[in-house]
């Protein structure tokens, strides 16, 4: 199939473009030339490493999802966005998961039950032998859009396929095969086939406007995902390059927290700029991973919302895993330039509004800038002391910490969503 590049108009008014423009000559280092950026194992052959990491920690997932090569069957193609599966797994009742406790079957003494939707088991590693040809090229720009879906609502496979590193050229009219690892265990199951879009081909779904190179696939009713975490694996048939999407299916009101990334978890607001160019992964603030891990162990589901450019999704996931943070749903901005100032406020405010529309509201949020503070204010995160800012004074009354060590004892004393008091 002929590959069509969508012409992009860079917004040079953003700091991302200003900082990275001198480095466009290095774009091939972030693109599809077969080189691997340090810390990004999208198409490497590190299956052994992944297996040892899995053994070391059950909270560790595969970085970009393409580091466990294997073989599998490829189903037949079909109509875009409507192909039925070659293998059907019946109803959601068969989607057993290890991540959500059913209060109807897990009651304890005195009538106590875990909070519905609480993350009461270790986060599954989502590793399995990958379908198709094990010779997988680098494709650092391909990215799925991780999602929370509430039980009963439509479920979409969402992704963007692009190439050329920082230039991030869209790949349009490309065939993509879709597979699902239900409950993040067992074997991949063929889900269907879809085609990437040209600009405006598809209506906006889950806040994602069709800017070209997008993939929208509505999961058929008889293949919908049950409660828990699932991994969607996508194969671009023209060159066998891959992308992954992680989906958490939860009930309304599931306990969760949201954290910003740059300057909140990393040691500096713009550290990613430099590390992107030199092929490194940013360092993290001391004790930050320990504090968030305690929340996860108390049953809170992790989500990371960052205003980084969209093509940095895989690097953001790599940061979360490499620095020992609990793996969760990751959202970047939907722009190739990222978002700063008012744009970041709008982007993050909209993210919280979409969560609220699903009946989901974070119990804790973490940030470090005015845009974080205003977005958390707009979302009315309460109580105020659960708006936690790293070395930043919130004008709306949130809490300032100078070290995440201040939170460890306090978080350990929180009520547990998974264990009786």
Q: What is the pLDDT of residues 244-269, one digit of tens each?
A: 999 999 999 999 999 999 999 999 99
Q: How confident is the model at residue 223 (pLDDT cuts 50, 70, 90)?
A: very high
**Between 375 and 103, whose confidence is greater?**
375
Same domain, 103 and 226: yes
- Alpha carbon distances (Å) from 141 to 280, 314, 331, 349: 17, 8, 15, 26
Q: What is the mean pLDDT of the chain?
A: 82
| pLDDT tier for residue 51 given thresholds of 50, 70 and 90 | very low
What number of residues does the chain have? 421
221: CB partners within 8 A, 6+ apart:
none
Residue 346 forms part of a structural domain: yes
In a domain, 417, yes or no: no
pLDDT at 4 over 50: no
Q: Number of folded domains in the chain? A: 2
Could you identify the residue written with the tokens 């999802």? 65
Asked whether the CA dihedral 162, 163, 165, 169 is positive or negative, the reply is negative
- Strand residue runs (E) in 107-255: 143-144, 147-150, 156-160, 162-163, 169-172, 175-181, 189-195, 214-218, 228-236, 241-250
- 100 phi and psi, to 5 degrees? -125, 125
Question: Which residue among 205, 229, 250 closes a domain?
Answer: 250
Tell me which residue of 88, 175, 189 sits closest to 129, measured CA to CA.
189
Residue 184 backbone dihedrals phi, psi, to 5 degrees: 55, 35
Residue with more model confidence, 124 or 108: 124
Distance CA 331, CA 318 (A): 13
> What pLDDT is recorded for position 46?
36
Q: Assign residue 209 the CATH number of its domain.
A: 2.60.40.10
Task: Please indicate, yes or no, if residue 418 is contained in any of the structural domains.
Answer: no
User: What confidence score (pLDDT) does residue 165 get?
Assistant: 87
For range 176-188, the mean pLDDT: 98
Residues 185, 38 within the same domain: yes
Q: Are residues 302 and 352 in the same domain?
A: yes
For residue 118, which of 284, 242, 297 has the smallest C-alpha distance? 297
CA distances from 84 to 17, 57, 140, 277, 418 (A): 42, 36, 29, 42, 37
Look-up of token digits 């993050």: 348
Q: What is the mean pLDDT of residues 197-224?
A: 98
Query: What average pLDDT does the segment 230-238 reach?
Result: 98
Query: Which pLDDT value is given to residue 110?
Result: 75
CB 212 within 8 A of CB 172: yes
DSSP of 22-64: GGGGGGGGGTTSS---TT--TT---HHHHHHHHHH-TT---SS
CA 249 to CA 225: how far, in whole Å?
7
The DSSP H or E segment spanning 9 is none
Nearest to 394 by CA among 363, 366, 360: 366
CA separation for the pair 112, 103 (Å, rounded):
9
Q: Is the pLDDT of residue 8 over 70?
A: no
The whole-angstrom separation of Cα 389 and Cα 371 is 12
Looking at residues 128-135, what average pLDDT do you find?
Answer: 97
pLDDT value at residue 166: 87
What's the whole-number mean pLDDT along residues 124-140?
95
421 in a structural domain: no
Of the three residues 250, 276, 309, the one that is the final residue of a domain is 250
Judge if 354 and 278 occupy the same domain.
yes
249/285 Cα distance (integer angstroms): 30
Percent of the chain with pLDDT over 70: 74
Whether residue 350 sits in one domain with residue 220: no
**Strands in 272-398 per DSSP E:** 301-305, 329-331, 364-367, 387-390
CA dist., res. 421 & res. 418, Å (int): 9
d(Cα 262, Cα 283) in Å, to the nearest integer? 10
Helices (H), 34-169: 47-56
CA distance 311 to 27: 12
Cα dist from 386 to 181, 404, 409, whole Å: 34, 13, 15
* In the block, residue with structure tokens 């086939």: 193
Which of 86, 81, 134 has the alpha carbon at shortest distance from 240? 134
Q: Does residue 244 lie within any of the structural domains?
A: yes
Task: Report yes or no on 391 lying in a domain.
Answer: yes
Between 147 and 49, residue with greater pLDDT:
147
Tokens found for residue 200: 């405006």
Domain with 72, as residue range(s), is 4-250
419 domain-assigned:
no
Q: How confident is the model at residue 109 (pLDDT cuts 50, 70, 90)?
A: low
Burial 169-201 (b: 16+ CB within 10 A, else e): bbbbbbebbbbbbbbbbeebbbbbbbbbbbeee
Predicted confidence (pLDDT) per residue in 290-327, tens digit: 999 999 999 999 999 999 999 999 999 999 999 999 99
Looking at the structure, do residues 138 and 267 belong to the same domain, yes or no?
Answer: no
Q: Please name the residues in contact with 394: beta carbons below 8 A apart, sequence gap of 6 or more.
A: 373, 376, 387, 400
Is the pLDDT reported for residue 69 higher than 80? Answer: no
Does residue 266 share a domain with residue 192?
Answer: no
Point out the domain boundary residue: 192, 220, 250. Answer: 250
Supply the pTM of this predicted model.
0.79
Check whether 125 has a pLDDT greater than 70: yes
Quote the CA–CA distance of 45 and 289 in Å, as a whole number: 27
Asked if pLDDT for residue 360 goes beyond 90, the answer is yes
Hey, what are 190's tokens?
């063929």
271 plus 393 within the same structural domain: yes
Same domain? For 27 and 64 the reply is: yes
CATH number at residue 373: 3.40.50.1000
Q: Is residue 183 part of a domain?
A: yes
Span 217-243, average pLDDT: 98
């Amino acid at each position: 199939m002929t590959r069509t590049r969508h012409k992009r108009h860079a917004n040079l008014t953003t700091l991302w473009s200003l900082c990275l423009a001198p480095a466009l000559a290095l774009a091939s280092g972030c693109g599809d030339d077969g080189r691997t950026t340090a810390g990004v194992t999208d198409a490497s052959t590190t299956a052994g490493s992944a297996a040892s990491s899995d053994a070391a920690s059950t909270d560790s997932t595969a970085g970009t999802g393409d580091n466990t090569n294997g073989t599998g069957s490829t189903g037949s193609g079909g109509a875009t966005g409507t192909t039925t599966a070659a293998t059907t797994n019946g109803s959601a009742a068969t989607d057993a998961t290890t991540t959500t406790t059913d209060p109807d079957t897990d009651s304890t003494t005195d009538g106590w039950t875990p909070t519905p939707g609480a993350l009461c088991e270790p986060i599954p590693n989502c590793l399995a032998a990958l379908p198709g040809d094990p010779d997988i090229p680098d494709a650092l720009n391909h990215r799925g859009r991780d999602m929370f879906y509430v039980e009963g609502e439509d479920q979409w496979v969402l992704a963007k396929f692009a190439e050329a590193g920082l230039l991030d050229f869209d790949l349009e009219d490309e065939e993509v095969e879709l597979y699902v690892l239900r409950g993040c265990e067992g074997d991949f199951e063929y889900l269907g086939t879809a085609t990437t879009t040209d600009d405006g081909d598809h209506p906006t779904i889950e806040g994602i406007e069709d800017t070209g190179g997008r993939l929208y696939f509505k999961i058929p009713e008889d293949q919908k995902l049950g409660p828990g975490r699932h991994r969607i694996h996508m194969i671009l048939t023209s060159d066998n390059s891959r992308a992954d999407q992680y989906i958490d299916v939860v009930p309304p009101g599931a306990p969760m927290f949201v954290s910003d990334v740059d300057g909140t978890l990393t040691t500096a607001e713009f550290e990613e700029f430099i590390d992107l160019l030199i092929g490194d992964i940013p360092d993290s603030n001391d004790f930050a991973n320990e504090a968030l891990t305690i929340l996860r162990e108390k049953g809170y589901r992790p989500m990371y919302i960052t205003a980084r450019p969209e093509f940095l999704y895989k690097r953001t996931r790599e940061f979360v895993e490499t620095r020992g943070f609990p793996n969760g749903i990751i959202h970047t901005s939907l722009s190739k330039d990222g978002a700063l100032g008012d744009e970041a406020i709008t982007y993050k405010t909209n993210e919280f509004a979409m969560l609220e529309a699903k009946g989901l509201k974070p119990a804790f949020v973490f940030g470090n800038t005015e845009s974080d503070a205003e977005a958390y204010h707009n979302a009315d995160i309460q109580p105020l002391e659960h708006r936690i800012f790293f070395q930043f004074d919130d004008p709306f009354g949130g809490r300032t910490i100078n070290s995440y060590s201040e939170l460890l004892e306090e978080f350990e004393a929180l009520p547990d969503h998974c264990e009786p008091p």
